[in-house]
Chains A and B, each alone.
Chain A
Amino acid sequence: MRKIFLFIPLLAFLAVGVFLFRGLFMDPSKLPSALIDKPIPTFSLPSLYEPEQMLTADSLKGEVALLNVWATWCPTCLEEHGQLNKIAQEEGVTIYGLNYKDEPDKALRWLERYYDPYKLVVVDQAGSLGLDMGVYGAPETFILDRRGVIRYRHVGAVDEAVWQKLRSMMQQIEKEEV
């Protein structure tokens, strides 16, 4: 019985070791969203193409879709733009754009030059919707379900590997709602 107590320091060491070892492979810059399973915050912001038209949270409902937060000042957004074009054109996925703290003129020119994968682009020049959604760096990509509820958030560029993951999640959400 007493011998067992001698192993307690070893067990404690192993437990701490396991936690620290796991920590090596975690990316602290990827935060879980506080808004998972919550509806998109209410907003009323202009559309990029028709500035007089105001978009609201209802504009983003109806389909399982991606909401991509982007800006022309963000180099990683340009990096992932080709992938977004591919997703929208080849797979017919609905992608909404949130132009975050950017200038509408620059954004329009940018989309003309690199093609536009977005069904709608919300202009959030002051970053107020971004703040309400807990955006802390562009690009960020959210999965929305038909009711406009946020189901997942990815921080960073969407590449092929990330898209595989997002696609299977979207298919899952499509299925559960039918």
Chain B
Amino acid sequence: MRYLLLFLLLMPGFAVAAIEGYEFSSSDNERRFHSMTQELRCPTCQNQNISDSDAPLAADLRREVHRMIEAGESDQAIIDFMVLRFGDFVHYRPRLTSTTWFLWYGPYVLLALGFLAVILVSHNRRRKRRTLSPDDADAVSSADVVPDSENETGLEAHRLTPQEQQQLQKLLQQEQDK
């Protein structure tokens, strides 16, 4: 059992053997090969790039990329070669065309709209607060000041008009009569 676990632990080491041996004339070419194969999508197994995919087609495409890099072709030439055959789909970074501009700029547009909405809403709210009576606005803006109940104006605000006084009396009377 212990040996089996040890074996399983070492398994990932053996997987390296499956990698194709490509030789590169320079380390720069090798670096380009890895970045290109990670950027191109495998048309057969669509959610993998051609570097990760085991599909025979991906192996063909890796061979093509290797051949073109060693032949001194530019990255753009390789991408054009693939797009010409398999369409825009093959490139993980879609080109900017009339059909893909929303894909590229849509998120920024939505972000700008979001900011605009926040600004508008807060602006409206501030304006509404200002149109309230100046006393109320003061009370809101100076919330940290404890209102003084002994204050003349404070009492004034709570004082009932004679009419209201009468109404209150009436209601209390009714309550007692029951």
A positions within 8 Å CB-CB of B = 28-29, 31-35, 101, 127, 131-134, 136-137
Given A131-B64, A136-B43, A137-B44, A101 and B56 touching (CB < 8 A)? yes
B positions within 8 Å CB-CB of A = 43-44, 46, 56-57, 60-61, 64, 83-89
**What's the Cα separation between A53 and B132 when bound, in Å?**
94
Q: Could you show 10 A-B contacts with beta carbons less than 8 Å apart? A: A28-B46, A31-B43, A31-B89, A34-B83, A101-B56, A131-B60, A131-B64, A134-B43, A134-B85, A134-B86
Q: Chain A residues near B86 (CB, 8 Å)?
A: 31, 34, 134, 136
Q: Is the CB of A137 within 8 A of B85?
A: no
Q: Is the CB of B43 within 8 A of A34?
A: no
Q: Chain A residues near B84 (CB, 8 Å)?
A: 34
**What's the Cα separation between A133 and B84 when bound, in Å?**
9
Most buried by B among A127, A131, A132, A136: A136
Q: Is the CB of A35 within 8 A of B43?
A: no
Q: Is the CB of B87 within 8 A of A137?
A: no
Question: B85 contacts which of A28, A29, A32, A132 (Cβ < 8 Å)?
Answer: A132
**What's the Cα separation between A31 and B61 when bound, in Å?**
17
Question: B57 contacts which of A28, A132, A137 (Cβ < 8 Å)?
Answer: A137
Q: Chain A residues near B61 (CB, 8 Å)?
A: 131
Q: Is the CB of A29 within 8 A of B87?
A: no
